[in-house]
Amino acid sequence: MAGVDHLATERSKARFDVEEMKVVWAGSRHTLELSDRISRLVASDPAFRKDNRAMLSRKDLFKNTLRKATYAWKRIIELRLSEEEASKLRFYVDEPAFTDLHWGMFVPAIKGQGTEEQQQKWLPLAYKMQIIGCYAQTELGHGSNVQGLETTATFDPQTDEFIIHSPTLTSSKWWPGGLGKVSTHAIVYGRLITAGQDYGVHGFIVQLRSLDDHLPLPGITVGDIGMKFGSGAYNTMDNGVLRFDHVRIPRDQMLMRVSQVTREGKFVQSNVPRQLVYGTMVYVRQTIVADASCALSRAVCIATRYSAVRRQFGSQNGGVETQVIDYKTQQSRLFPLLASAYAFRFVGEWLKWLYTDVTQRLQANDFSTLPEAHACTAGLKSLTTTATADGIEECRKLCGGHGYLCSSGLPELFAVYVPACTYEGDNIVLLLQVARFLMKTVSQLGSGKQPVGTTAYMGRVEHLMQCRSTVQKADDWLKPSVILEAFEARSTRMSVARAQNLAKFANPEEGFLELSADLVEAAVAHCQLIVVSKFIEKLQQDIPGKGVKEQLENLCNIYALFILHKHVGDFLSTGCITPKQASLANDQLRSLYSQVRPNAIALVDAFNYTDHYLGSVLGRYDGNVYPKLYEEAWKDPLNDSVVPDGYGEYIRPLLKQQLHNARL
């Protein structure tokens, strides 16, 4: 049935203006228009087809990615796309490629850490893609502990060069995307040694391959590290291994914005503050939080649409069965993920603002908010990526057996997304950084130094340590002030309790290691408070469109009360709420699920994803799932022949009891 919308009835139930919600999700009318135009451009171009990725061999998959990335660049030039449009095009092509690292890490590193002269030399080449760069920091033996990197960069004053060297097996660069087969250049991080002294880890621009025949330059061993988790997925990327055998580079290829080595080999700090590097980190982590909302919303869109299409049980007298989305067990798993997608979207928007604010302050030599901004972005990167990876997998389960098919789009989405829990900071290591910052904040509370930014609530420590929730009936839990106070009290009490336990140790470092699991819990509580408070702040803005704000209020309350329900032990054990109040929160949550139910399909339509971008038979806009699943099955290479390859050698001898004829 071509052109029939099987979800039309669902869409007609919506109690809000979907077009206005699309603007809220996109962030502005401009972004919505741009995203819509570019996503349709990609979807309508057969060159960007991606439904066969899971069936390709690694070599074919990789070559296909090279073709797409190069074709995308050709289109960017032909259509004279702006930087914003080009970045959206790469986003909607939806395939990890060397270009991600070139634009996302190599170019920003030169912009952030290179001098004016270095930027003038390297950026024009990078912008035209006359060189292709990657970011070679992680090694076989060290990832999170950047200070433990072993690659060396030793200055030779005789020739005015650095000698880049891999002294051990574990010093091999390992994991950088784009490195394995494509990059011509890399920002290589290594220990700067001059006049026999080690000055710690610095960045260097190193050419890896000839610009004529792409062969590795003398002294360089480079290749791909092998297949990764999942089919298709991140295997489109050439994550690489790289070793140096005394490779010489000119002195001016050290990134010298923050520190330099002079012609004589003297190490000097420039007048540019070291803290600028943190600005780049805040930026990268802000984009990761924004990506989390995109990945989670995709999974939620697929699971929500399929839950409305799928019917199971509940048939009365031969009538239709019940839509799966009408079961409370489905709603209580799905709707909190829908709410989380919106919550992460808004905290991502706020982080964009924070990045701008931090950058302006850094330029004015104001570093006062930096430790807090750093801790906050680290924590939110950890919280959102963990929740998103878990959420995508939950969405797969919400789709039952069919969710396990590659054509559902969910296995590949999960496999592509899950490394985000590790790259740019392992999620547990990041939470420990947040915990350190919280312990420092608590220790300074008595000194009159007021906590800033997202820790400002700790300034009301006396009140928060003894306040009691005023909730008496279920709908009291809909008051933002009630929710905020419960979350602030939980976070404050958990942090203070950890600090008190730490104080019992003679050696604070020993205490930190011993209590690290408890400290991580306090960090999570603080980060969840940030997400809740930023969602509430978003709702204080003027949000136009019939019923739009009301739906967002429901989602905000679902997010907050779901977290409260999930971590009810924290709230009860710290005495923020009573068991009765916890029970009322649960009653309110159930009632909120019923309010979201008629709007669920429209709320995922507001993400405005094309079927091409979703890449899911289950998540199709028109809900025409079953005929398409059937059609998709026949495309598998196994179905190219009716009798399988191998019948003559193995199956026939087995059936005919002639195993001596089998080619074993």
Q: Is residue 151 part of a domain?
A: yes
Average pLDDT over residues 517-527: 98
Determine if the pTM surpasses 0.85: yes
The string of DSSP letters for 532-558 reads HHHHHHHTTS---STTHHHHHHHHHHH
| Residues in binding site for FAD | 138, 177
Burial group, residue 659, by CB count within 10 angstroms (0-12, 13-18, 19+): exposed
CATH of the domain at 224: 2.40.110.10
3-state secondary structure of 542: coil
Distance between start and end Cα atoms, the chain? 49
Q: Is residue 567 part of a domain?
A: yes
Identify whether residues 400 and 456 lie together within a single domain: yes
Cα 468 to Cα 486: distance, rounded to the nearest angstrom: 8
Q: Model confidence over 345-394: pLDDT tens digits? A: 999 999 999 999 998 998 888 888 888 999 999 999 999 999 999 999 99
Q: Is residue 526 part of a domain?
A: yes
3-state secondary structure of 444: coil
Identify whether residues 303 and 401 lie together within a single domain: yes
Instruction: Give start and end residues of each alpha helix (H) in 208-327.
Output: 276-309
In eight-state DSSP terms, residue 103 is: I
Token pair for 147? 């200070």
Cα 271 to Cα 289: distance, rounded to the nearest angstrom: 32
Q: Is residue 3 part of a domain?
A: no
Identify whether residues 461 and 596 lie together within a single domain: yes
Identify whether residues 485 and 457 lie together within a single domain: yes
Q: Identity (one letter) of the amino acid at 155?
A: F
Note the maximum CA span of the chain: 93
Helices and strands in the chain: count of H runs, count of E runs: 24, 11
Tally of CB atoms within 10 A around 597: 18
Residue 299: name the closest of 659, 641, 658, 613 by CA. Answer: 613
Query: Domain boundary residue among 605, 626, 652?
Result: 605
Instruction: Give start and end residues of each alpha helix (H) in 606-660.
Output: 611-614, 625-633, 652-655
- Tell me the residue range of the domain where 473 lies: 277-605
Q: Which residue has the tokens 């890896």?
A: 208
Q: What percent of the chain has pLDDT over 90?
A: 92
Number of domains comprising the chain = 2
Cα 175 to Cα 619: distance, rounded to the nearest angstrom: 33
Query: Domain boundary residue among 605, 638, 657?
Result: 605
Token pair for 123? 């950026």
For the four alpha carbons of 94, 100, 104 and 105, in that order, the dihedral sign comes to positive
Query: Do 76 and 86 meet the contact criterion of CB atoms below 8 Å apart?
Result: yes
CATH of the domain at 435: 1.20.140.10
Residue 245: name the closest of 226, 219, 270 by CA. Answer: 219
Q: Model confidence over 622-653: pLDDT tens digits? A: 999 999 999 999 999 999 999 999 999 999 99
Identify whether residues 111 and 237 lie together within a single domain: yes
Tally of CB atoms within 10 A around 336: 26
Q: Is residue 586 part of a domain?
A: yes
b/e map 116-126, b = 16+ CB within 10 Å: eebbeebeeeb
Q: Is residue 283 part of a domain?
A: yes
Identify whether residues 595 and 463 lie together within a single domain: yes
Cα 231 to Cα 102: distance, rounded to the nearest angstrom: 24
Q: What percent of the chain has pLDDT over 70?
A: 100
CA Rg, the chain, in Å? 27
Q: Is the pLDDT of residue 294 over 60?
A: yes
pLDDT at position 122: 98
Q: Please provide residue 576's backbone torsions phi and psi, each rounded to the nearest 5 degrees.
A: -70, -35
pLDDT at position 462: 96
Average pLDDT over residues 402-429: 97
Residue 30 makes CB contacts below 8 A (sequence gap 6+) with: none
Identify whether residues 516 and 558 lie together within a single domain: yes
pLDDT confidence bin for 497, thresholds 50/70/90: very high
pLDDT confidence bin for 1, thresholds 50/70/90: very low
Q: Is the pLDDT of residue 298 over 60?
A: yes
Query: Do 311 and 322 meet the contact criterion of CB atoms below 8 Å apart?
Result: yes
Determine whether 412 is an active site residue. Answer: no
Token pair for 623? 């809900």
Query: Domain boundary residue among 272, 301, 319?
Result: 272
Residue 291: name the closest of 91, 526, 16 by CA. Answer: 91
Beta strands at 152-156 and 161-165: parallel, antiparallel or unpaired: antiparallel
Identify whether residues 350 and 487 lie together within a single domain: yes
Identify whether residues 302 and 286 lie together within a single domain: yes
Cα 455 to Cα 453: distance, rounded to the nearest angstrom: 5
Q: Model confidence over 466-487: pLDDT tens digits? A: 999 999 999 999 999 999 999 9
Q: Is the pLDDT of residue 408 over 80?
A: yes
Mean pLDDT of the chain: 96
Q: Is the pLDDT of residue 2 over 60?
A: no
Q: What angle do CA 468, 471, 472 make, to 5 degrees?
A: 125
Average pLDDT over residues 329-333: 98
In eight-state DSSP terms, residue 651 is: I
Q: Please provide residue 300's backbone torsions phi and psi, each rounded to the nearest 5 degrees.
A: -65, -40
CA 7 to chain CA centroid, Å, is 30
For the four alpha carbons of 525, 530, 531 and 536, in that order, the dihedral sign comes to positive
Token pair for 106? 């190599």
Residue 344: name the closest of 388, 398, 400 by CA. Answer: 388
Identify whether residues 369 and 440 lie together within a single domain: yes
Query: Do 37 and 50 meet the contact criterion of CB atoms below 8 Å apart?
Result: no
Catalytic residue, from 424, 514, 550, 632: name it.
424
Cα 446 to Cα 443: distance, rounded to the nearest angstrom: 7
Q: Is residue 478 part of a domain?
A: yes
Query: Do 500 and 445 meet the contact criterion of CB atoms below 8 Å apart?
Result: no
Query: Do 24 and 539 meet the contact criterion of CB atoms below 8 Å apart?
Result: no
pLDDT at position 278: 79
Q: Model confidence over 41-50: pLDDT tens digits? A: 999 999 999 9
Average pLDDT over residues 131-136: 98
pLDDT at position 4: 84
Average pLDDT over residues 15-34: 98
Identify whether residues 414 and 533 lie together within a single domain: yes
Q: Is residue 510 part of a domain?
A: yes
Sheet holding 220-224, edge to edge: 173-174, 240-244, 220-224
Identify whether residues 591 and 471 lie together within a single domain: yes
